[in-house]
Amino acid sequence: MPSAPPRSYVWARRVFLTLLTGFVLLPVYVMVSSSLKPLQDVSGKFRWLPSSVTISPYIDIWDTVPLARYFVNSLVVAGVATVFSVAIAIFAAYAVSRYDFPGKRVFTVTVLSTQMFPGILFLLPLFLIYVNIGNATGIALYGSRTGLILTYLTFSLPFSIWMLIGYFASIPRALDEAAAVDGCGPVATLFRIVIPAAIPGIVAVAVYAFMTAWGEVLFASVMTSDATRTLSVGLQGYATQNNVYWNQVMAASLVVSVPIVAGFLLLQRYLVAGLTAGAVK
């Protein structure tokens, strides 16, 4: 049997983990406590403990800016972009991982190389494309949810395809051959064999695509109007020319973060279960 580690090592590890936990939880405490403070306790000299506890910031956040509308915009844009990104990536990755076709290597390298360029390089070209399309066809892409969905789709789709290519390639082709013997065509094999076996990878891609769209600021600040503004940009509305409502900023950040964090933790449980099931298979 292996010998127990020295007590000095155990205590050093405990101290290190305690300090690390405190370092991680300190910003959370500042956010929560600031959201329960009057504005004077936040905008002036910082106080670790509030002079009085109030929930008025959680009430005022809905009137200072149209927070509910921003939340709906973010949910629609991130959700639709995620659905299309995952759907397109599944078909593209399946074709690349299972078939040989002219330009396959060029396509794979091109998909991966798009991740080498900073996103700000595409800001002006996309802006000009959307404006010109609107002027020529009357299709409003600039300042609309549709334009923002297409923008985020271009961000998440290359990485989603590249990640699923590797995941699909790890699935034995013997499963495809067994499905073909049973009379399944390529599409039936994809939906009945490959996708169920690749659920953990698909979930990971969906989480990546959603988080990419949910927290993006640069393109959302340029490509949206007052009616289509998302949360990442809308939170700036708590800063006026004369004051910054820091307690409302913290309260709004908590309100919009709790559902997303809770959903991610719930999804993470199923993700771990899927990875375990895939390992057993």
Check if the beta carbon of residue 115 is closer than 8 Å to that of residue 159: yes
Kindly report the CATH number that applies to the domain delimited by 65-238: 1.10.3720.10
pLDDT in tens, the chain (281 residues): 456 667 777 788 889 999 999 998 998 888 888 888 888 888 777 778 777 888 888 988 888 888 889 989 999 999 999 999 999 999 999 988 888 888 888 888 888 787 777 878 888 888 899 989 988 888 888 888 999 999 999 888 888 888 888 888 888 888 888 888 888 888 888 888 888 888 888 888 888 888 888 888 888 888 888 888 888 888 888 887 677 888 888 898 888 888 778 777 777 765 554 444 444 44
Nearest CA-CA partner of 159 in 117, 190, 129: 117
Model pLDDT for residues 232-264, shown as the tens digit of each residue: 888 888 887 677 888 888 898 888 888 778 777
Which residues have a Cβ under 8 Å from the Cβ of 215 and sit 6 or more positions away? Answer: 232
CA distance 198 to 194: 6
CA distances for 275 relative to 200, 215, 278, angstroms: 6, 26, 5
3-state helix, strand, coil in the chain (%, to 5): 80, 0, 20
Q: Domain ranges in the chain?
A: 65-238
Q: Which neighbouring-strand residues pair with 98? A: none
Both tokens assigned to 135: 């002027």
Check if the beta carbon of residue 34 is closer than 8 Å to that of residue 42: yes
CA distance 164 to 210: 16
Which residues have a Cβ under 8 Å from the Cβ of 64 and sit 6 or more positions away? Answer: 237, 238, 245, 248
pLDDT at residue 272, as a whole number? 59
pLDDT at residue 40, as a whole number? 82
The DSSP 8-state label assigned to residue 233 in this structure reads H
CA distance 153 to 212: 10
